[in-house]
Amino acid sequence: MTFARKPSFKAILIAFCATAAMATHAQPYWLHKSGTMVYDSSTGLVWARCSVGQQWNGDSCAGEAKDYQFEQAFDVVSRINSTGNLGGITNWALPNVRQLQSLRQCTAGFRPNTNIDLNDQLPPVPQECKRTKDDRYHIHPVAFPQSEALYWTSTPLAGSKHLAWSVGFSNGLLETMGRKLPFYLRLVRSMPLTGNPADAGFTQKLNIFPASPLTLDGR
């Protein structure tokens, strides 16, 4: 299910610079000096850079991401917090659907007339990205290298005991899936910053998103 394969951080960064003139998205992301976390200044959320099961090796996310059923995911997060193994932080959470969908990056924009109500008393959000032959991923590849295709959110479908919301980063699609299916996990914590992100260790700003057909596996 992986759609990201072994690009080096430096190689992607060089490609970003080469496509800067074509970039269409300004990014509010800041990388932590440890390399393990990403701060989104537009939402006040801090994200684990690697999927659960992977480790930051100084260049990229190494190892195999692990997939879990929906109910299992909450136990996994509790274990991670109890050990403090993820950056020494003990308040990680599984993101809700609105939080996780905010990581979608659509180089061609969102597909019109697909807004869906998430039943959280906030405005509807687009259900999917526009699809073009050059759109091959829908998450920032430097901020979140070696990403997987489908991730669980913490949000069950209202009124259903069997379905929950997932976010697909191979197609930018929000959809409900059976809770017994195994998907990947990306953890989040709330940390709104009022000052300079660098004061909290977030020292590298990512300003661009490539609008070229660059892929994470080099094809």
In a domain, 71, yes or no: yes
In a domain, 218, yes or no: no
pLDDT band at residue 193, thresholds of 50, 70 and 90?
Answer: confident
In a domain, 85, yes or no: yes
pLDDT digits (tens, 9 = 90+) for 74-94: 999 999 999 998 989 999 999
Which one is predicted more confidently, 28 or 189?
189
Could you give the number of structural domains in the chain? 1
pLDDT band at residue 21, thresholds of 50, 70 and 90?
Answer: very low
Contacts of 172 (CB under 8 A, 6+ apart): 104, 105, 106, 110, 128, 129, 135, 138
In a domain, 36, yes or no: yes
In a domain, 3, yes or no: no
- Segment 186-210 mean pLDDT: 83
In a domain, 54, yes or no: yes
> Which pLDDT score is estimated for 135?
60
- Segment 16-24 mean pLDDT: 32
> Which pLDDT score is estimated for 211?
43
> Which pLDDT score is estimated for 35?
94
In whole numbers, what is the pLDDT of the chain averaged over residues? 83
In a domain, 138, yes or no: yes
> Which pLDDT score is estimated for 176?
97
Q: Which domain holds residue 48?
A: 9-209
Contacts of 30 (CB under 8 A, 6+ apart): 38, 39, 41, 197, 198, 202, 203, 204, 205, 206
pTM of the predicted model as reported, rounded to 2 decimal places: 0.82
In a domain, 1, yes or no: no
